[in-house]
């Protein structure tokens, strides 16, 4: 995510900060709300699987918004604010956090607060692009605009099913924008930037048109495939995976995510109108679980120290939730393809278990309960 590419994040990681300085403690409430939104979204996900988990109707109805614009919106906007080091930049994570709480308790105007958070995030991105006119920052800015548009559409009553490509554009472009900046280390040719821009444009145009005309999802899917191919050629993960320790772990998580991004693109091309429940499930979760959550797993070891100023030593235990996430997602998609409800339900529930396990490993690492790996990063 965005903090990973900033000099501040690299400095924090290199310094191995052990205690949260005063300025970092004020960021903790944002992550507390983000985690609450995540847990609420997972609770709603289990209920949507047909499991008897006694989830409130507000949480079930807000599952998608809680996971994307609540949890991820708050975290990504907070990263951007930390990178920018300006108080005004905290408007976006503040609004996203308030909107998340509103969704959890069922406030009728919560979606409008999230939309305001998306607007603040887009303005922050535009300011960053004014300061540093780089293609990666511009890509992240377009992702921020997609968040804003998706939030407004949702607040106006547009069904979430018609906004999936637009919400995905927010997350995918925000993530790959940062990867574009890091790809400079592989010295890609000038024409590769043109290819990247064309792929991103396909995702955006397809997502916007799909709000009114679902077949346009095909264009967005082609864009996802092109972005996955671009990352497959130029991303530095293919070099850093040869190293050890945390560097290899991050690279493995990134590469696995790129595979799922390509799978998502293929799904969007084949079933853009998602005629069945299983097709709809595959269309969503190849991208939002396979790609997006894998990116979260990859970058968290950099995000948490940079944002909170605490140490998060790497251990091989982090591989357990990562492997479980991808194996269970593969089983889930197999259940979608076969139309097998029992396989789909069990595998999807295991997706949730993988995320909870990742949280447990993170807490154990922060508390010094895991054997750290000391290989160079």
Residue by residue, pLDDT tens for the chain (377 residues) are 544 444 334 433 433 334 444 446 678 889 899 999 999 999 999 999 999 899 898 899 899 999 999 999 999 999 888 888 888 889 999 999 999 999 999 888 899 999 899 889 888 888 888 888 888 888 988 998 999 899 899 889 898 889 999 999 999 999 998 888 777 666 778 888 899 999 999 999 999 999 999 999 999 999 999 999 999 888 888 888 888 889 999 999 999 999 999 999 999 999 998 889 999 999 999 999 999 999 999 988 888 887 877 888 899 999 999 999 999 999 999 999 999 999 999 999 999 999 999 999 999 998 888 765 554 44
Query: Would you call 257 exposed, middle or buried from its count of C-beta atoms within 10 A (0-12, 13-18, 19+)?
Result: buried
Architecture of 2-366 per CATH? Up-down Bundle (1.20)
pLDDT of residue 25: 64
At 5 the pLDDT is: 42
Residues in CB range of 368: below 8 A, 6 or more apart: 313
Mark 303-317 as b/e (b = at least 16 C-beta within 10 Å).
bbbbbbbbbbbbbeb
Give pLDDT, residue 2.
46
For 77, list phi and psi in degrees, rounded to 5. -65, -35
Note the pLDDT of residue 18.
Answer: 41
Record the tokens describing residue 334, joined without a space: 């197999």
What are the tokens at 47? Answer: 């209920």
> For residue 69, what are the CA distances in angstroms to 117, 121, 144, 211?
9, 11, 11, 17
Confidence at residue 46, expressed as pLDDT on a 0 to 100 scale: 95
Residue length of the chain: 377
Structure tokens at 365: 């690492």
pTM, rounded to two decimals: 0.88
Q: Which of 84, 96, 13 is nearest to 299 (CA)?
A: 13
| Enclosing H/E stretch for 129 | helix 110-131
Which of 198, 87, 326 lies closest to 206 in space, CA to CA?
198
Query: What is the reported pLDDT for 283?
Result: 95
Question: In angstroms, what CA-CA distances link 225 with 85, 161, 177, 193, 329?
Answer: 35, 21, 16, 16, 19
């Amino acid at each position: 995510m965005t903090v990973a590419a900033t000099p501040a994040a690299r400095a924090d990681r290199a310094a191995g900060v052990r205690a949260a300085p005063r300025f970092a403690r004020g960021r903790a409430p944002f992550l507390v709300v983000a985690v609450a939104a995540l847990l609420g979204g997972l609770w709603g996900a289990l209920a949507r699987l047909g499991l008897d988990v006694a989830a409130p109707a507000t949480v079930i109805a807000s599952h998608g918004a809680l996971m994307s614009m609540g949890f991820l919106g708050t975290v990504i906007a907070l990263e951007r604010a930390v990178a920018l080091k300006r108080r005004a930049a905290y408007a976006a994570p503040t609004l996203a956090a308030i909107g998340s709480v509103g969704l959890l308790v069922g406030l009728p105007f919560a979606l409008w607060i999230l939309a305001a958070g998306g607007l603040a995030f887009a303005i922050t991105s535009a300011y960053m692009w004014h300061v540093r006119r780089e293609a990666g920052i511009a890509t992240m800015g377009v992702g921020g605009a997609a968040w804003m548009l998706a939030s407004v559409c949702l607040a106006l009553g547009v069904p979430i099913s018609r906004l999936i490509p637009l919400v995905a554009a927010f997350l995918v472009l925000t993530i790959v924008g940062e990867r574009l900046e890091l790809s400079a280390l592989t010295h890609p040719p000038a024409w590769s930037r043109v290819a990247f821009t064309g792929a991103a444009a396909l995702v955006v145009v397809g997502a916007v048109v799909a709000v009114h005309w679902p077949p346009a999802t095909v264009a967005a899917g082609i864009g996802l495939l092109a972005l996955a191919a671009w990352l497959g050629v130029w991303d530095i993960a293919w070099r850093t995976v040869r190293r050890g320790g945390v560097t290899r772990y991050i690279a493995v998580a990134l590469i696995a995510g790129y595979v799922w991004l390509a799978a998502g693109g293929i799904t969007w091309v084949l079933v853009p109108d998602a005629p069945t429940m299983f097709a709809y499930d595959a269309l969503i979760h190849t991208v939002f679980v396979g790609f997006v959550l894998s990116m979260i797993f990859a970058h968290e070891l950099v995000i948490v120290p940079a944002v909170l100023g605490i140490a998060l030593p790497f251990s091989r235990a982090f591989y357990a939730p990562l492997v479980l996430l991808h194996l269970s997602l593969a089983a889930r998609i197999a259940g979608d393809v076969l139309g097998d409800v029992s396989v789909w339900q069990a595998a999807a529930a295991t997706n949730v278990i993988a995320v909870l396990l990742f949280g447990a490993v993170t807490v154990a690492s922060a508390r010094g309960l895991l054997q750290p790996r000391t290989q160079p990063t």
